[in-house]
Amino acid sequence: MAQASGRASGGQLEERIDLTEETNEKLEQASSLVQASPNHLASALALLASIEKKARVGNDTPNLVRVCEASLQLCKDCNDDESLVATIKTLTTRRSQKSKAIAACVNKVCPWVLDTSDSSKGYEPLPVDNEDQKKIRERLVITLRDVTDGKMFLEAERARLTRALAIIKVSHAE
């Protein structure tokens, strides 16, 4: 007999709350906040954090994934690397975070640090122009490796990130 998942009891599935309308509204508000001024990134992320929690607790995985991806995209659009790293860590280490949300976060950020255009290259790190970009890219790769550590559903991504980190370390040594 199959067991119910999570907090469900009596063989019932967990109830899923549909937060699509509220999610669309909050995503639009956060986007307009950042477009008005990149200094409002913290406010936009706080706005999205509230809907992220509702979606996570309400078992609304599709909207949870959308909110996580939008949070990361806002950080990238504002060129705020500190917030990007912090947001990755926050979203992926939340209590009872859905595996699909964690995978979505990793898959959203990987193309920003890895060259995924040609798989024959083996997903090498993207070339960067200056030393600051190298440090930021290395920090992102390390953060993503920490996130993927021990997660079976992200083994392939972890392998790619480990290879990219090795290439980065070798290039620093030269």
Query: Which structure tokens are listed for 68?
Result: 């996580």
pLDDT for res 2: 38
Q: Model pTM?
A: 0.85
pLDDT for res 172: 74
Q: Which residues lie below 8 Å from residue 89, measured CB to CB, with a gap of 6+?
A: 143, 146, 147
Q: Quick one: 31 exposed, middle or buried, by C-beta within 10 A (0-12, 13-18, 19+)?
A: middle
- Asked whether the beta carbons of 123 and 163 are under 8 A apart, the reply is yes
- List, for the chain, all residue ranges whose pLDDT scores fall below the cut of 70: 1-14, 116-125, 127, 174
pLDDT for res 1: 36
Q: What is the pLDDT of residues 33-63, one digit of tens each?
A: 999 998 999 999 999 999 999 999 999 999 9
Pick the CATH number of 20-173 from 1.20.1050, 2.60.40, 1.10.3470, 1.25.40: 1.25.40
Amino acid type, 116: T
How many residues are given for the chain?
A: 174
- Asked whether the beta carbons of 129 and 137 are under 8 A apart, the reply is no
- Domain ranges across the chain: 20-173
- Asked whether the beta carbons of 71 and 91 are under 8 A apart, the reply is yes
